[in-house]
A = this chain, B = another copy of it.
Amino acid sequence: MKILEELIIQNGKVIDNSILKVDSFLNHQIDANLMFEIGKEFKERFKDKKIDKILTIEASGIAMGVTVAYFFGVPLVFAKKKKPVTANSVYTSKVFSFTKKKEYDIIVSKDFIKAGEKVLIVDDFLAMGGAVIGLESIVKQAGAEIVGVGIVIEKGFQEGAKLLREKGLHVESLAIIKGFENGKVIL
């Protein structure tokens, strides 16, 4: 996706030749126009699929999730990062963050993912796939079905996308980072 790749090249910051910071347009300050273009692009890439819900994780998945949901004309549901409190009414799962080297809990109310629903998972980053695997567990617990995974920035040099495709998931990434060289992003 050209506008996204240009923003990554122009405004992404590479730290220690290994971390890409995109907090000036994707996950702290947010380029609202880019969010709209992302919503439109995912609608195009998954246009042949019947989709009932968009599912993401707070906080940085929400801004793009809401535009994707808008273009599909369906609700967005975001998983919350917190300890499950009322076990009867929520699905819970664990996400292992390889970046932060720790596990955290996510929850989704049982009211908002129902058996038989077709769910499109979206997220801002895909590296090792931890977040998507956590969301997949929640969709399965609900008896719903994942029809696709939409990622804004895939770290192509990590295992996540391969792992998800081996599970039979249809993954679409809008930008794929091949690696870093001399403090620059290689797309």
Interface residues of A (CB under 8 A from B): 23-25, 28-33, 35-36, 58-59, 62-63, 65-67, 69-70, 73-78, 80, 108-109, 111-112
B residues in contact with A30, CB < 8 Å: 62, 65-66, 69, 75-78
Q: Which residue of B lies closest to A27 (CB)?
A: B78
**In whole angstroms, what is the CA distance A76 to B59 when docked?**
13
**In whole angstroms, what is the CA distance A131 to B65 when docked?**
24
Q: Which residue of B lies closest to A79 (CB)?
A: B28
B residues in contact with A62, CB < 8 Å: 30, 59, 62-63, 66
**In whole angstroms, what is the CA distance A101 to B76 when docked?**
29
- Check A75/B29 contact, CB under 8 A, given A59-B80, A63-B62, A66-B63: yes
CB distance from A117 to the nearest CB of B (A): 12
B residues in contact with A33, CB < 8 Å: 70, 73
Q: Which of A30, A59, A77, A109 has the most CB of B within 10 A?
A: A30
CB distance from A46 to the nearest CB of B (A): 15
**In whole angstroms, what is the CA distance A112 to B31 when docked?**
12
Determine if A32 and B70 form an interchain contact, defined as CB atoms under 8 angstroms apart.
yes
Q: Which of A28, A69, A70, A75 has the most CB of B within 10 A?
A: A28
Determine if A32 and B76 form an interchain contact, defined as CB atoms under 8 angstroms apart.
yes
Pick the 5 closest A-B CB pairs, nearest first.
A32-B69, A58-B59, A32-B70, A29-B112, A62-B62
